[in-house]
Structure 1
Amino acid sequence: MQDEDGFFGEDIAATYDESSADMFQPEAVDPAVDVLAELAGDGRALELGIGTGRIALPLARRGVTVHGIDMSRAMVARLRAKPGGDAIDVAIGDFATTRVAGTFAAAYLVFNTINNLTTQDAQVACFRNAAAHLRPGGCFVVEVGVPELRRLPPGQNAVPFHISPTRWAFDTYDVATQAMSSNYVTIVDGRAEYWSVPFRYVWPAELDLMARLAGLRLRHRWEDWTRAPFTSESSRHVSVWEKPAD
């Protein structure tokens, strides 16, 4: 059930790091931090949807001043409890509209978090909010998957991405509205527990238009944080838009 923390309340926050353990490994974190530290340079960085600090904490250890926005007090409490977490300023609120003081060299959204905004209007507002926080020449970075619609045969709307004796997970897609959801069924003590999170999937070209509406222009698009080329076979992308210096 959704609470004041959205879909990332205490029950999810309590096990979030463990359930996403692969994304906390150095091979997943270090390349992202390398890119973001380079883009931030001697400036500040703003993470939209900072969560438990998977990226913010190692980025701060690189000497970058990091600020965050997140709706979930429960997730932010986990960030605060980690070494260095209490030194990161976090505003509680919707990252599509919440403002913090000052300007930033880089703003970023990672791990499909742009899809947590479930309407096109909210996603457009997010780009405008990010742009408003950037100093001239600053960059907005988004890491997000490419919708896997090619895996949908006629008449099917679900794509499984994890199957084991105790856990099943699948995404559902509505190609008419771009609504999707990630669904999880977990067996605990012989009983099934179900959890679902709604998203809105978005195409790279659509993101480019959102960026243009916000006064940003595309600088880079890679397949991943290692800066591998983005191709028609890429399942995700890391895109960097910049705010013109003039």
Structure 2
Amino acid sequence: MLDSSAEQQEIWDRIAAHYHPSDVADTEAVAGTLDFLAELAGDGPALELAVGAGRIAVPLLRRGVEVAGVDVSPAMIEVLHATVPATDLPATVGSMATADAPGRDYALVYIVYNAITCLLHQDEQIACFHNAARHLRPGGHFVIEVWVPQLRQLPPGQALVPGTVTDNLLIFDSYDLVTQRVFSHHYQLNNGQVISAGGTPHRYVWPSEMDVMAKMAGLGLVNRYADWDRSPFTGESPSSVSVWRKPH
């Protein structure tokens, strides 16, 4: 299996320098996500793949759900454990496609903020579904939040899609339609001048493609929504929240 974990670790270790424990809170911006996940987790436990600095895992823990995590970046986990001790929220360093988390009896495994696309090869994404399935208890749920590729915005011959454009930030994505790769370019601006530049590589994945991956892992689709508020998913939805279940 191809493995992009070393490349991703370098990227996210660098990004971790911009995270701080104070960034983690049960705010209005994440309340809908937490409501959704807490309901599925029930008495738990829950496992977050690509847990990062704990933006979702920590407030979910504070709501009373037992949570563990996996992340490719040791630096991210250091930030996480500056917020809550490892005894309260254990986290394993490794790829979410292969890493072992403590236990094999999770009521919920979830991936948020498009993190499934950080696995840069299709076989890694397939392996991630298998990894989630083997950590789930019978009847447990696997949830992924991810954007829907916006290929309809690409005129013939164009590979760039604009994202965020403000006085201080410019983000655009460049697509490779053959490999399903996207590079998200980020530019910080000050008075019209670029003061920093960077970006992250991704492999976009279609909802129907994920359903095949889930089926390969023995999981069945329960529902798909446009957002955490359970609004209907349509052909116009720019993102999806998918829920699969492991059979009893």
- TM-score between the two structures when normalised by the length of structure 2: 0.90
Aligned position for 1:6: 10
Cα contact 1:6–1:71 (8 A) shared by 2 = no
Asked whether the 8 Å contact 2:173–2:184 carries over to 1, the reply is yes
Q: Which residues of structure 1 form unaligned runs of 5+? A: none
- Separation of aligned partners in 2, 1:17 and 1:115: 24
Q: Give the aligned partner of residue 101 of structure 2.
A: 100
- More displaced, 165-174 or 182-191? 182-191
Deviation of 1:196 (Å): 2.0
The alpha-carbon deviation at position 5 of structure 1 amounts to 2.6
Letter in 2 for 1:50: V
Q: Residues 1-246 of structure 1 correspond to what in structure 2 (within 5 A)?
A: 5-9=9-13, 11-16=14-19, 26-83=27-84, 87-102=88-103, 103-187=105-189, 192-245=195-248
RMSD: 2.2
Deviation at 1:44, TM superposition (A): 0.4
Q: Conserved in 2, the CA contact under 8 Å of 1:142 and 1:240?
A: yes
Moved over 6 A (4+): none
Q: Secondary structure at the match of 1:68?
A: strand
Q: 2-side partners of 1:39 and 1:185: how far apart?
A: 37
Is the CA contact (8 Å cut-off) linking 1:162 and 1:168 kept in structure 2?
A: yes
**Secondary structure in structure 1 of the residue aligned to 2:184:** strand
Q: Are residues 86 and 172 of structure 1, via their aligned partners in 2, closer, same or farther at CA, if it must alter by over 3 Å?
A: farther
Kindly indicate whether the alpha-carbon contact (under 8 Å) linking 1:53 and 1:85 is maintained by their aligned counterparts in 2: no
Contact 1:107-1:141 within 8 A present in 2 as well: yes
Offset, 1:24: 6.7
Identity level (%): 48
TM-score by length of 1: 0.91
> What's the CA shift string for 1:131-183, capped at 9, x where partnerless?
00000000000000000111111111011112234432111111121111101
